[in-house]
Structure 1
């Protein structure tokens, strides 16, 4: 990493530690990532992602005394930062937290209502990126918004026929995400069985004194969907 790049990283870290979650800090991050060769870019993204995860965890852990507006500004900052470093998983997780935070405070703070379009967009993004359990939750939230006739989906704005078609389309997407989740689960259990069977056969053919060798952890075999849900649970400190 060149001296100028190192200085930019140090400046970015300083802004995070000073809790300067604003556009200027994002521009520093962007300057670190532009005009780099592929290898250096990958190394920088890994390092910056680790820095962001650490700082986001630290800030969210102490967010209980903040106002809703300030929490949302911080979440939106990290959404933008994770998007810049190419961490779609963290980006979607924080988008979900922002939507939940708004929904849980919309009665107390005017203007925080979450529309069905926002939930639907989030659910589609999650589906496209393979985060099926979260996509299901997003589609469910979108359905709830329409069925309760909130926001722009009052009967005078969304005619009954259009509402029925919209509900059906979302239900189909939700069912697709559900089937994909089930399919992934079956694949995971099949892989687990085959690996277990292979271990048993290996133990029979090996000597009794041969040491056991652990295979990859079950968390890894379950795939990125399970890790994403665990991250969402850890980030509940926002609420």
Structure 2
């Protein structure tokens, strides 16, 4: 990685640590990913992702006592930042965290209430990107929140009973789909682990058998070799005896 890129990464870290959570910082982050070199782009994206994970964890832990407004500003910034670097899992995790923060405070600040459609949009994004465990958590939270809320006015929008029922039905369907996907994956993992374990066990059982076969085969070959050597020695002995007899009695030839 070039010195100029290292300096840019250091500057981005400085902006985060000084809490410059505005659009200008996001635009600067986006500019860091403009590269003609694919290898450099992958390297920079990985470095930025690690930087964001480290800094976001530190900062989110440090604002636990701050106002909900400040928390949501920080969460929204990191949601956008992770989306820019392509870390969808972290992006979804922080989106979920922001929805939960809003829902917890909605009892005293009604404008923070998370609408059923917001929950549904989040669940759809989680399912679409294959994060079924996150989707299940969001579904359960959404169903609890929606179920506990009566028909109410949020700004100028009125949530009708029909819309609420349809949203609950769709979220339930997505929850069941995600649960089935998790179960299916779990069964596949268990089956794979079982087959791997049985293969290792069979290999352990086959090893002594192969060793015995190897020893038996070696013994058999050695036996044949010894037998052939005895035959050769006997033949050579007979030939020497015949030769000696012919030498002593030339007329026998």
Which TM-score band applies after superposition, normalised by the shorter structure?
A: 0.7 to 0.9
Distance in 1 (alpha carbons) for counterparts of 2:160 and 2:83: 37
Q: How far is 1:185 from its partner? A: 1.1
- Determine if the alignment matches structure 1 residue 187 to structure 2 residue 188: yes
Q: Point out the structure with the larger helix share.
A: 2
| Aligned equivalent of 1:149 | 150
Q: How far is 1:57 from its partner? A: 1.3
- Determine if the alignment matches structure 1 residue 115 to structure 2 residue 110: no
Range moving further from structure 2, 156-165 or 71-80:
156-165
Distance in 2 (alpha carbons) for counterparts of 1:119 and 1:160: 16
Structure 2: which 5+ runs fail to align? 209-253
| Deviations 1:1-42, CA, capped at 9 Å, x for gaps | 444433322211111222222222111111101243222111
| Aligned equivalent of 1:200 | 201
Q: Which structure 2 residues correspond to residues 8-47 of structure 1 after superposition, within 5 A? A: 8-47=8-47
Distance in 2 (alpha carbons) for counterparts of 1:126 and 1:181: 13
| Aligned equivalent of 2:130 | 130
Q: Do the aligned partners of 2:116 and 2:164 also contact (CA within 8 Å) in 1?
A: no
Q: RCO higher in 1 or 2 (8 Å CA, sep ≥ 6)?
A: 1
Structure 1: which 5+ runs fail to align? 208-239
| Aligned equivalent of 1:228 | none
| Deviations 1:74-108, CA, capped at 9 Å, x for gaps | 11111111111100010000111111111111123
Q: CA separation of 1:115/1:158 partners in 2, compared to 1, >3 Å: closer, same or farther?
A: closer
| Aligned equivalent of 1:75 | 75
Distance in 1 (alpha carbons) for counterparts of 2:110 and 2:143: 22
| Deviations 1:122-147, CA, capped at 9 Å, x for gaps | 11111111111221232334434443
| Deviations 1:175-220, CA, capped at 9 Å, x for gaps | 111111111111111112122222223333458xxxxxxxxxxxxx
Larger Rg: 2
| Deviations 1:161-180, CA, capped at 9 Å, x for gaps | 55444433332222111111
Query: What is the TM-score with the length of structure 2 in the denominator?
Result: 0.72
Q: CA separation of 1:162/1:49 partners in 2, compared to 1, >3 Å: closer, same or farther?
A: closer
Range moving further from structure 2, 20-29 or 139-148:
139-148
Distance in 2 (alpha carbons) for counterparts of 1:194 and 1:166: 42
